[in-house]
Chain A
Amino acid sequence: MKKTDGVAVRSNVRLNSIHVTVILIVVLFVIGQGVLNGFASIRNISNIIAFACVIALVAVSQLFVMVVGSDGNDLSVGAIMSMSALLFADICRNEVARIPFALACVLLLGVVVELINFSGIAFLKISPMIMTMVMGTVVNGFNYFYTRGIVSGSIPKPIMLLGRQIVGPFKTIVFVVAVILVLAYCFLRRLKTGKKMYLVGSNENAARLCGIRTEWVKLAAFLMSGVAAVLAGIMLLGLSGAAILKMGDGYVMMSIAAAVIGGVKNGEGRVFGCFLGAVIIQTLSNLLIAANLPDSLQILLNGIVLMLILSSFARKPRLQS
């Protein structure tokens, strides 16, 4: 009985936070239109949504790790994204027939990285953020070693199509990511493993006593996170049209911000919330570009925004209560 109450209250709160995020997006667009004429044009909106799709995918990868709890964020997603983009371009070498093979390779590598992450966290009790941060550096080092600093290969046409407009004002990537997000939603809400992730995140001991094998559920969450990060890397490759070393690094911070805005916590979090959070973050960084700020100030302001977002969404309860 108590449990259903909890869910009802929580879904109320979520509804509110989604309203707030939508209002925030509209406000940002109004400000943007004030700063630069044409900010709220269809063309710019389509551009913002295309890049927000990449962030949303990384945020979903973050969601998997955050939902199963233990205060974890995944800081290696950026390096995994870069790895998947670089290796995908390198293996494909402009041949369409090699796409499935390249996809399998990068997916495998992404899963292996997350497997190592999980082993360190589960067996050696290394805190998730430190383990994933160190793994991120190792993966970036691997990327440099593998490519020797020079990116070879080129991007096959079907992947380049992701950044083009085919139907309506939206780029192809929007539809592809929409399908992936729906699949992630179905996994989390309809499949047993996905539902168990929320249970493990909200109360690990209770979940274990219910007979859920919590370690396996956590492992599944990490592997799914790796898959989402790899797909995000390929989306970014298609959208930007070139593979660059460390191209995914900036997305770590954005994905955490997007997931936190989307209401992701231990045992809570929605895929749609992540998408809205991603739109906010991308609109904001687009706004900073429109305001013609130098790179350094953009990074600085992004950091300040993340700090403010954390102070309003991710506070711990007070000790006195």
Chain B
Amino acid sequence: MSQLLKAKWFPSVVLVIFFLIWNGFFVKGFYSAASFRYFLNVLVPLACIAIGVTVTVICGGIDLSTGALVCVINCSFVVLMERGLGLGAAIAVSMLAALVVGVVNGFFVAVVRINPLLVTFAMQTICTGLALWIRPNASGSGNPEFIRWYGSGTVLGIPTSVLFFTIVPLVIWYLIKRTPMGYWLYAVGKDERKSFETGINTVAVQFFAYIFSACMTGWAAIAFSGNIVGGDPKAGLSFTMNAIAASVVGGAALSGGEGDPIGGVLGALFVQLAIYAVLGAKVSTYVEELSNGLIVLLGIVGMMAYSVLKNRKRSRL
């Protein structure tokens, strides 16, 4: 119990519990089976991206290309299936495309050595163009079998969406964390130069972080395609900011070396719950964009203020 209180992501647990209760009271039918399942299906892609983004943050970087990459993979996934590719082949090709984006990001961050914010920002522009080129307007129908499987299937009572797109990535991360790569990621994030001097291959570690993030994003994009049915070149753009907010609320320090993907998942839960809470308040649609932005802003500001105050208390003692 005391360990739970000490965890960096503890505040996000409190926020999530608060909003779970709040939404139960103020969002009509939030806990009915169908609508809660829909809530989980909407949440899952964000949680999956947040896992990847948290890993880049741990490694001392950031990934701003996630939202645009979701659009690219979403469009290519739908287009590939329209061209007659099977579900498995379409997933494989899409994941390969995500991998390529991760390799390019990693190359410019680790080898060419440019500020990761700028690299992934440029990549965001490239991906936005790419998505519009693949599919200029939102259209398409997707694979009905996949959508049914994603939307309402269960395995051992766990929704398929949550199992395959959040629990499996988390398990993969905890397996990685037990290998040396897990330690190296935290070390490089804490101090790149010292890690280099102790003989860690910093280039490989940074490459790994960006490839991992891009693969998680690609995987999330496939989940997203099960959710929005067709291919839309702009629908995924808001993921960039929401995922960063999720990992910050989940206790990842933007200065690097601290954080945990489980915190990212909790942060994603907070962001999605808060968005639902605003929707449930039946505000006019004109406020939606503003309120979503404010949720992200307040999440980041609140968490940073919390950690500043906590550090101040500690330094006084």
One of B119, B244, B292, B293 near A130 (C-beta < 8 A): B244
By a CB distance below 8 angstroms, the chain B residues around A145 are 286-287, 289-290
How far, in angstroms, from A311 to B118 measured CA to CA in the complex?
A: 10
Cβ contacts A to B, 16 pairs, < 8 Å: A73-B118, A120-B300, A120-B301, A131-B300, A135-B297, A137-B289, A138-B294, A149-B286, A256-B118, A295-B132, A296-B136, A307-B119, A311-B112, A314-B115, A315-B114, A319-B202
Kindly identify, within residues 104 to 157 of chain A, every residue whose CB is under 8 Å from any CB belonging to chain B: 120, 123-127, 129-131, 133-135, 137-138, 140-142, 144-145, 148-149
Which of B64, B122, B123, B294 gathers most chain A CB within 10 Å?
Answer: B122
Please report the total number of B residues contacting A with Cβ < 8 Å: 50
A207 is an interface residue with CB less than 8 A from chain B: no
B283 CB to closest chain A CB (Å) equals 10
By a CB distance below 8 angstroms, the chain A residues around B125 are 253, 299-300, 302-303, 306
How far, in angstroms, from A120 to B286 measured CA to CA in the complex?
A: 26
Contact present for B133 and A296 (CB under 8 Å): yes
How far, in angstroms, from A297 to B126 measured CA to CA in the complex?
A: 9
Kindly identify, within residues 274 to 306 of chain A, every residue whose CB is under 8 Å from any CB belonging to chain B: 294-304, 306
B262 is an interface residue with CB less than 8 A from chain A: no
Contact present for A316 and B114 (CB under 8 Å): yes
A124-B301 in contact given A296-B136, A314-B114 (Cβ < 8 Å) = yes
B305 is an interface residue with CB less than 8 A from chain A: yes
Contact present for A318 and B129 (CB under 8 Å): no
By a CB distance below 8 angstroms, the chain B residues around A73 are 117-118
Contact present for B118 and A314 (CB under 8 Å): yes
By a CB distance below 8 angstroms, the chain B residues around A138 are 290, 293-294, 297
Contact present for A307 and B126 (CB under 8 Å): yes
How far, in angstroms, from A102 to B128 measured CA to CA in the complex?
A: 34
A204 CB to closest chain B CB (Å) equals 16
Contact present for A315 and B117 (CB under 8 Å): no
Contact present for B112 and A319 (CB under 8 Å): no
A130-B300 in contact given A297-B129, A303-B122 (Cβ < 8 Å) = yes
B132 CB to closest chain A CB (Å) equals 3
How far, in angstroms, from A71 to B60 measured CA to CA in the complex?
A: 14
Binary flags per residue of B156-173, CB closer than 8 Å to A gives 1, else 0: 000000000000000000
How far, in angstroms, from A321 to B308 measured CA to CA in the complex?
A: 34
B300 CB to closest chain A CB (Å) equals 6
A310 is an interface residue with CB less than 8 A from chain B: yes
A122 CB to closest chain B CB (Å) equals 11
One of B117, B129, B291, B305 near A124 (C-beta < 8 A): B305
Kindly identify, within residues 120 to 152 of chain B, every residue whose CB is under 8 Å from any CB belonging to chain A: 121-133, 136
Contact present for B117 and A127 (CB under 8 Å): yes
Kindly identify, within residues 39 to 87 of chain B, every residue whose CB is under 8 Å from any CB belonging to chain A: 62, 64
Q: Which of chain A's residues has its CB closest to B124's CB? A: A303
B241 is an interface residue with CB less than 8 A from chain A: yes
B254 is an interface residue with CB less than 8 A from chain A: yes
By a CB distance below 8 angstroms, the chain A residues around B293 are 134, 137-138, 140-141
By a CB distance below 8 angstroms, the chain A residues around B127 are 303
Contact present for A71 and B117 (CB under 8 Å): yes
B113 is an interface residue with CB less than 8 A from chain A: yes
Contact present for A310 and B291 (CB under 8 Å): no
A137-B241 in contact given A301-B129, A316-B114 (Cβ < 8 Å) = yes
How far, in angstroms, from A275 to B248 measured CA to CA in the complex?
A: 37
Q: A140-B293, A306-B122, A314-B114 are in contact. List 4 more A-B contacts (CB 8 A).
A: A71-B117, A130-B300, A137-B296, A296-B131
Contact present for A124 and B108 (CB under 8 Å): no
By a CB distance below 8 angstroms, the chain B residues around A315 are 112-114
By a CB distance below 8 angstroms, the chain A residues around B305 are 124
How far, in angstroms, from A149 to B193 measured CA to CA in the complex?
A: 50
Kindly identify, within residues 229 to 265 of chain B, every residue whose CB is under 8 Å from any CB belonging to chain A: 241, 244-245, 248, 254-255
